[in-house]
């Protein structure tokens, strides 16, 4: 049987993508197949209707579009160029969607040993709740239109924007890793709420504040700086908090942190 979509690597992101495809009806679960050395992971996929492939070769034989969803460091371990699963790759038939951070389409072609059509996508975990942000880029040998399935798939699970491949390291730093920065803020706010004696209600107070602020940010025409100004009464409580953050160089630290994420993405691709 032929499947429109297959996953090499049935980890967390692959699961989020497959569940999203099935939930939104972009690709029904029975039209997807997955390969992973972990039986446990394959069972998770089977539990919502995705077929298990015997191995990566079986997957490549069965699937037309292959999602590369292993860790970037695993790419070379998938097989020698032109050997194993890569032997069965037909550049006419197969399209790849790679979500691996940092790995260029040229590097993927080199690892596979053939000039294949690669669409690179940098998604993020909020796609699990239909609020994802994905950057989609055509790789070296991809043609306009090869990204249509990726745009439909990730667009159905949130927002998807076309970017050029050279910008994907920056996209990774901003939106790929971005949810972790927000969760970091949530962790710190919850720790503070605990310390200030609000432990019982801390989770709700913090979560609803972040949710409401994100909604306001997205619905309002104001810039983040204007929205912040509207919270900040002169000589008030917010001014005390923001003054402390500025004094401590938190803004510069955040900019430097995103630069570090971008640099690590470049390094992963080497
Ligand atoms: N976690 C995130 O927020 C994001 C991750 N990514 C990218 O997604 C990719 C996957 O990340 P996660 O899902 O978080 O990792 P994960 O560790 O949950 O999934 C990787 C899966 O690959 C499987 N695997 C290992 N060797 C294999 C092989 N030889 N053949 C087939 N499968 C094999 C593992 O058993 C595992 O289930 C990474 O390349 C990462 O850069 C991209 C955007 C966001
Ligand atoms: O941390 C990482 O490398 C991956 C890529 C973006 C989010 N997680």
Is 131 a known ligand-binding residue? no
Same domain, 39 and 8: yes
- Residue 222's contacts (CB-CB under 8 Å, 6 or more residues apart) are 230
Domain end call among 119, 144, 168: 168
The verdict on 182 and 67 lying in the same domain is no
- Residues 62-88: pLDDT tens digits? 999 999 999 999 999 999 999 999 999
Residue owning tokens 């000589």:
235
Q: Has 145 been labeled as part of a binding site?
A: no
Q: Ligand 2 centroid vs 237 CA: distance in angstroms? A: 35
| Residue where a domain stops, chosen among 138, 168, 198 | 168
Cβ atoms of 150 and 136 within 8 Å: the answer is: yes
SS3 at position 65: strand
Same domain membership, residue 147 and residue 17:
yes
User: How many domains does the structure of the chain reveal?
Assistant: 2
Q: How many CB atoms lie within 10 A of CB 188?
A: 11
What range defines the domain where residue 202 resides?
A: 178-268
- Provide the H-helix boundaries in the chain: 12-24, 39-47, 56-62, 105-112, 148-156, 168-171, 178-195, 202-219, 224-231, 237-247, 250-268
Distance CA 51, CA 32 (A): 6
Q: How confident is the model at residue 270 (pLDDT cuts 50, 70, 90)?
A: confident
Determine whether the shortest distance from the Cβ of 78 to ligand 1 is under 6 A. yes
Instruction: Kindly indicate whether the ipTM for this predicted assembly is greater than 0.95, answering yes or no.
Output: yes
Q: Is 54 near ligand 1, meaning CB less than 6 Å away?
A: no
Average pLDDT, the chain: 97
Ligand nearest to the CA of 7: 1
Residue 12 labelled as part of a binding site: yes
Q: What is the mean pLDDT of residues 245-256?
A: 98
Distance 122 CA to ligand 2 centre (A): 9
- Decide if 173 is inside a domain: no
177 lines ligand 2 (CB under 6 A): yes
Tell me the ligand closest to 172's alpha carbon: 2
Residue 40: inside a domain:
yes
pLDDT at 33: 98
225 assigned binding-site residue: no
Q: What is the pLDDT of residues 18-63, one digit of tens each?
A: 999 999 999 999 999 999 999 999 999 999 999 999 999 999 999 9
- State whether 68 and 187 are in the same domain: no
């Amino acid at each position: 049987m032929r499947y429109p979509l297959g996953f090499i690597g049935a980890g967390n992101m692959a699961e989020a993508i497959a569940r999203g495809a099935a939930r939104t009806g972009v690709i029904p679960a029975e039209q997807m197949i997955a390969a992973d050395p972990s039986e446990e992971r394959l069972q998770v996929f089977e539990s919502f209707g995705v077929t298990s492939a015997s191995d990566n070769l079986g997957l490549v034989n069965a699937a037309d579009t292959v999602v590369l969803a292993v860790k970037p460091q695993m790419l070379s371990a998938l097989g020698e160029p032109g050997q194993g699963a890569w032997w069965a790759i037909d550049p006419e038939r197969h399209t790849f969607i790679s979500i691996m951070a940092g790995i260029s389409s040229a590097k993927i072609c080199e690892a596979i040993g053939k000039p294949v059509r690669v669409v690179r996508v940098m998604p993020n975990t909020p796609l699990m709740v239909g609020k994802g942000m994905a950057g989609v880029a055509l790789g070296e040998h991809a043609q306009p239109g090869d990204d249509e399935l990726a745009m439909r798939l990730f667009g159905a699970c949130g927002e998807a924007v076309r970017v050029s491949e050279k910008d994907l390291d920056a996209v990774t730093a901003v939106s790929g890793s971005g949810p972790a920065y927000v969760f970091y803020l949530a962790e710190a706010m919850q720790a503070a709420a605990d310390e200030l004696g609000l432990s019982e209600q801390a989770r709700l107070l913090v979560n609803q504040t972040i949710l409401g602020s994100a909604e306001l940010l997205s619905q309002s025409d104001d810039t983040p700086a204007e929205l912040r100004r509207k919270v900040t009464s002169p000589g008030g409580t917010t001014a005390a908090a923001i003054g402390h953050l500025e004094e401590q160089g938190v803004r510069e630290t955040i900019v430097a942190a995103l630069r570090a994420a971008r640099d690590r993405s470049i390094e992963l691709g080497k």
